[in-house]
Amino acid sequence: MKLLDLQGYASPQDSKTHIHIPFELDEGCGKLNLRLQYTPKTLENREKALRLLKDSYNLYILSEHREYAIANADRHLPLKNLITLSLDDARGYRGACHRQDEVQDLYVSDREASPGLMAGELVPGPWSVTLSLHCIVTDTCAYRLEVWTTEEDSI
């Protein structure tokens, strides 16, 4: 049963923010499935990417190391958007999936779960997904979160 199908857009101003998405889980769920997708993954504009890197060097690199960092900036390309997912159930934290993939298929059941998530009882009641927008480097980044359940634990 589909519980959630949320689509949205993020911009660089959304970097270092979180989107909290609540949903309700009913009795009788054998497996909770989640799919997070976002696009584009990389910033293809090299000049813009180098400009962003140089700006970050002014903030995060000691002045005596900046010249070296700028000269070697290409090794940090391509710059990538990064959105990750955390999951909470009615009792609390169920895990986090801090992956680099732009498509993430995840699951939780009584007996098994995707790496980063904790298997265990699928407690009916309020659950939530938190999308962490660590870094958005493209002008816009489209994301989609789907959450659905199956009755049987068919992994």
Confidence check: pLDDT of 153 > 60:
no
Contact present, 23 and 4 (Cβ < 8 Å): yes
The whole-number average pLDDT for the span 99-107 is 94
**Phi, psi of 71, deg, nearest 5:** -65, -25
Q: Which tens digit of pLDDT belongs to each residue from 33-60?
A: 999 999 999 999 999 999 999 999 999 9
Confidence check: pLDDT of 140 > 60:
yes
Q: Using alpha carbons, list the distances in angstroms from residue 144 to 4, 73, 79, 148, 149.
A: 10, 31, 21, 13, 17
Q: Where does the pLDDT of residue 155 fall: very low under 50, low under 70, confident under 90, or very high at 90 and above?
A: very low
What mean pLDDT is reported for the chain?
95
Q: What is the pLDDT of residue 152?
A: 66
CA 66 to chain CA centroid, nearest Å: 30
Confidence check: pLDDT of 77 > 60:
yes
Contact present, 19 and 6 (Cβ < 8 Å): no
Q: Where does the pLDDT of residue 28 fall: very low under 50, low under 70, confident under 90, or very high at 90 and above?
A: confident
Residues 146, 151, 154, 155, CA torsion sign: positive
The whole-number average pLDDT for the span 17-43 is 96
Q: Where does the pLDDT of residue 84 fall: very low under 50, low under 70, confident under 90, or very high at 90 and above?
A: very high
Tokens coding 18: 């979180």
